[in-house]
């Protein structure tokens, strides 16, 4: 089934090239670029590259469409988004195959991504932002009302193409905004196909999807016709987005990188929790902003847990995502592949112990790196201090919990973190001291569409999901109403 799905998808790309969606129309561009299959390192399709004029046209169409879209009753906007969720599920096999081709993850994980994208729409649209009463007394009534900002520019990364694009669409459209969305040039096709499926589900101009390089992203951030930027990606790029948006004082939401710490206390069973920790670190080949990137383990259970993790890593099958037996795919692009290799080289020079992995897979095709467990390492190395964003996990020894917390918090990152213990109350108290936007107990990775998510420190600005996330797409307005008439 996997092989035939891949063949059918490749054939469809030859017959029907993907297009931008601008003002409700499917359009191409004079320029196009290769899209690389990370499992082979070779191009498998072409992607149109939007020009500045096409961006201007999309923004103009969005501005024309926004007032009428905002005037629609909330229930109508919700129904339109539910139809989008239905379309996503109806085309799940095609969208999943595109994700595996361009992103590399196993096909079953791509199917899960598509299903989750659809469910996020339904969960978000169960929430309602209502007028809040701040005061109602003899002095009068004061209300907080929320209205849409206007045109949202959204820029998404390559690690989870649909699951990070669809919520931005849902946040924006549900709250009465319209959107111009740009996917990563490394993995644009599934998002462009989503735009094609949705182009006639909304009025023209409400949903625009344009592909392009990083220069197009800068144009979106700077564009005077865009009122808000929602960006997910690296800290370095997030800073550039924020600087570009400053010229027009756009509202900005940034969900940026993480170097999440997991702290494992001395009362756990190493064999029991090793699979959960491995999954939290190596999900999507370690290419998840909220994955475990640093594992702090109490000295009393350090060696048994390191050994258990090493055995899991060595038994994990890495390969082409269309192989049904594969558990981890490749690193998504050549640039990131080289970064991970450089970090591995630095780790060897530091004298750390490689318990499992540590090398690119032999064979020369694709961007595959063995699942790697590194022990006897500490702060001051790139692997611990930076975010490798690949299948590599450092395991760090500690003896004092306060010391482990201090080390976990001594970083510019602050996306997520977790604490693992049989004593849930103790673990929760420790987790609450993590300097992060999200903390888990006996679990790691996972965002709930009805719970705000975002980063502390340099891991982000603002929130997405939940009512707080929806409000990020709206302007808060205080309305003072007197208690007596003139």
Q: Over the stretch 116-138, which tens digit does the pLDDT of each residue have?
A: 999 999 999 999 999 999 999 99
- Of the pLDDT bands very low, low, confident and very high (cuts 50, 70, 90), residue 372 is very high
Question: What is the average pLDDT across 373-390?
Answer: 97
Q: What is the CATH number of domain 2-256?
A: 3.40.605.10
- Give pLDDT, residue 5: 76
Instruction: State the Cα–Cα distance between residues 247 and 33, nearest whole angstrom.
Output: 30
d(CA 459, CA 193): 30
Res 114 pLDDT > 60: yes
pLDDT per residue as tens digits for the range 310-335: 999 999 999 999 999 999 999 999 99
Look at residue 3 in the predicted model and tell me its pLDDT: 66
Residue 323, C-beta contacts closer than 8 angstroms, at least 6 positions apart: 2, 106
The answer to whether the CB of 416 falls within 8 A of the CB of 424 is: no
pLDDT digits (tens, 9 = 90+) for 56-68: 999 999 999 999 9
Q: CATH code for 260-448? A: 3.40.309.10
Longest dimension (CA), the chain: 83
Q: Please tell me the predicted confidence (pLDDT) of residue 486.
A: 64
Mean pLDDT of 289-306: 98
Mean pLDDT confidence for 429-447: 97
Sorted by where each begins, the domain ranges of the chain are 2-256, 260-448
Q: What is the mean predicted confidence (pLDDT) over 405-432? A: 98
Give the catalytic positions in this structure: 255, 289
Question: Which positions ≥6 away from 351 have C-beta within 8 Å?
Answer: 376
CA dist., res. 178 & res. 153, Å (int): 9
Question: In the predicted model, what is the mean pLDDT of residues 294-306?
Answer: 98
- The tokens for 347 are 């780790």
In 10 A of CB 299, how many CB atoms? 11
**Average pLDDT rounded to a whole number, residues 285-303:** 98
- Nearest-CA neighbor of 389 among 472, 317, 286, 303? 286
What is the predicted pLDDT for the residue at 485? 73
DSSP letters for 197-264: HHTTTS-TTSEEE----HHHHHHHHH-TT--EEEEES-HHHHHHHHHHHGGGT-EEEEE----EEEEE
Bridge pairing between strands 132-137 and 140-148: antiparallel
The pTM is what? 0.96
CA dist 457 and 435 (Å) reads 8
Give the pLDDT of residue 266: 97
pLDDT given for residue 15 in this prediction: 66
């Amino acid at each position: 089934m996997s092989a035939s799905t891949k063949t059918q998808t490749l054939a469809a790309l030859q017959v029907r090239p993907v297009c931008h969606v601008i003002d409700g129309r499917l359009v191409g561009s004079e320029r196009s670029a290769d899209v690389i299959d990370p499992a082979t390192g070779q191009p498998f399709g072409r992607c149109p590259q939007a020009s500045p004029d096409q961006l201007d046209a999309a923004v103009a169409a969005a501005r024309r469409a926004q007032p009428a879209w905002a005037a629609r009753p909330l229930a109508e906007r919700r129904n339109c988004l539910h139809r989008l969720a239905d379309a996503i599920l109806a085309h799940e096999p095609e969208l999943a195959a595109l994700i595996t081709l361009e992103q590399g993850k196993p096909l079953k994980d791509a199917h899960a991504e598509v299903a989750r994208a659809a469910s996020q729409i339904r969960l978000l649209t169960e929430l309602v932002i209502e007028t809040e009463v701040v005061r109602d007394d003899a002095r009068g009534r004061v209300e907080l009302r929320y209205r849409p900002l206007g045109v949202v520019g959204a820029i998404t990364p390559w690690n989870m193409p649909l699951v990070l694009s669809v919520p931005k669409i849902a946040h924006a459209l549900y709250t009465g905004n319209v959107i111009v969305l740009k996917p990563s040039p490394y993995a644009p096709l599934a998002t462009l196909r989503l735009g094609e499926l949705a182009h006639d589900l909304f009025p023209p101009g409400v949903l625009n999807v344009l592909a392009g390089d990083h220069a197009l992203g800068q144009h979106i951030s700077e564009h005077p016709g865009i009122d808000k930027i929602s960006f997910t990606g690296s800290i370095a790029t997030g800073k550039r987005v924020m600087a570009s948006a400053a010229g027009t004082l756009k509202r900005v939401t940034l969900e940026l990188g993480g170097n999440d710490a997991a702290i494992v206390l001395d009362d756990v069973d190493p064999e029991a929790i090793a699979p959960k920790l491995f999954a939290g670190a190596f999900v999507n080949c370690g290419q998840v902003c909220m994955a475990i990137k640093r594992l702090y383990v109490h000295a009393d259970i350090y060696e048994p847990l390191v050994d258990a993790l090493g055995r899991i890593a060595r038994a994990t099958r890495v390969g082409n995502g269309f192989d049904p037996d594969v558990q981890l795919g490749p690193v998504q692009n050549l640039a990131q592949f080289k970064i991970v290799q450089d970090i591995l080289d630095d780790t060897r020079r530091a004298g750390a112990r490689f318990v499992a992995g540590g090398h690119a897979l032999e064979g020369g095709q694709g961007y595959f790196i063995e699942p790697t467990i590194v022990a006897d390492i500490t702060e001051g190395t790139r692997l611990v201090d930076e975010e490798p964003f690949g299948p590599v996990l450092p395991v760090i020894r500690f003896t004092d919990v306060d010391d482990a917390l201090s080390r976990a918090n001594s970083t510019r990152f602050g996306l997520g973190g977790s604490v693992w213990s049989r004593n849930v109350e103790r673990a929760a108290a420790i987790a609450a001291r993590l300097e992060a936007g999200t903390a888990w107990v006996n679990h790691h990775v996972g965002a709930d569409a009805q719970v705000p998510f975002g980063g502390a420190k340099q891991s982000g600005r603002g929130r997405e999901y939940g009512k707080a996330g929806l409000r990020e797409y709206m302007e808060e307005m205080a309305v003072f109403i007197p208690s007596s008439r003139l």
